[in-house]
Amino acid sequence: MDAMAREHLDREWTPNALVNVVPLSKKYTFDLACRLFLNVVDVGDIKRLSDPFTLATQGMFCVPIDLPGMAYNRAIRGGKMVRKELIRIIHERRKELLEKKETRHHDFLSKMLLVTDENGQFCSEMEISNNIIGLLVASFDTTRSAVTSVVNYLAQLPHIYEEVLKEQMEIAKSKGPDELLTWEDIEKMKYSWNVARESFRLTPPAQGAFRETTTEFTYAGFTVPKGWKTFWTVHSSHKNPEYFPEPEKFDPSRFDGNGPPPYTFVPFGGGPRMCPGKEYAKLEVLVFMHNVVRRFKVEKAIPNQKVDDRLTVRLQPHGK
């Protein structure tokens, strides 16, 4: 992650005085997922996955009308294209493994190709592609949103940025100039992680989730029958003044000590169904924060710009 963050900033950020964070964070998170899960690094190969994948994800939460021109129709076509490309990659990797051309199995795909069930049977290419698509979906849009949200608050709140910079420079001083981050370094990023969590509180990466009620219950005067579908929202939980005084204020100190009570801060859900990618997201966000603040002073080019499809940030390299 650290090596790819450095490469990404060298290529996409450093040559520019202004950047639009949203498309760049999309590119970074998707490229990283392709590298970690598939060991796909070629720009052309990534593009053959990323373009149809974007179509598919844009139609995931839309009205399911399968007619030409509708988002759902484009999502179906995009999904088929993604699966076709994945099957091609899986087939080629399996061939390499059988011919002993691939001996290092560091990515998820190689490990999946070597897994067998209780009968000694290998996973089918369709099963593997299903698993990889699940990982790509889970690691892309929400982590992209998380990265964008953190950069937004660093650019908007100079006093927060300065404290993050101070912590990250202390870590950088303990390492050689080209030495990559370690897990021990991540564990030292206490304040930075509080900043990230406060970003997730105010701008949750996911909106919520559906659940089916197992028993009838009454809430706020409304009775919800057993078997109904309910949708819990992250925003309403995170803005509850009972647990977050002055809920609109950006205050990383909320997470000092034991932090908020259980089930009040739920950007990754809670309980046994909590998102299994929580630590992945934490690593990705903290590594990116480390590299951005070490290189640049960031500020919003348009002060009141809302973070939707654009977040224009002005970059000022340190020492200039």
- What number of other Cβ atoms are within 10 A of residue 248's Cβ? 8
Closest among 201, 166, 151 to 301, alpha carbons compared: 151
Q: How far apart are CA 151 and CA 140, in angstroms?
A: 17
The dihedral built from the CA positions of residue 289, 294, 296 and 299, taken in this order, carries a sign that is positive
Report the b/e string of 269-305 with b at 16+ CB within 10 A: beeeeebeeeebbbbbbbbbbbbbbebbbbebbeeee
Q: Which amino acid is at 1?
A: M
End-to-end CA gap in the chain:
27
275 assigned ligand-binding residue: yes
In whole angstroms, give the CA distance from residue 320 to residue 316. Answer: 7
Closest CA to 200 of 289, 273, 314, 309: 289
Contacts of 96 (CB under 8 A, 6+ apart): 102
- DSSP letter assigned to residue 17: S
**Cα–Cα distance, 230 to 219 (Å, whole number):** 12
In the annotated binding site for heme, the residues are 275
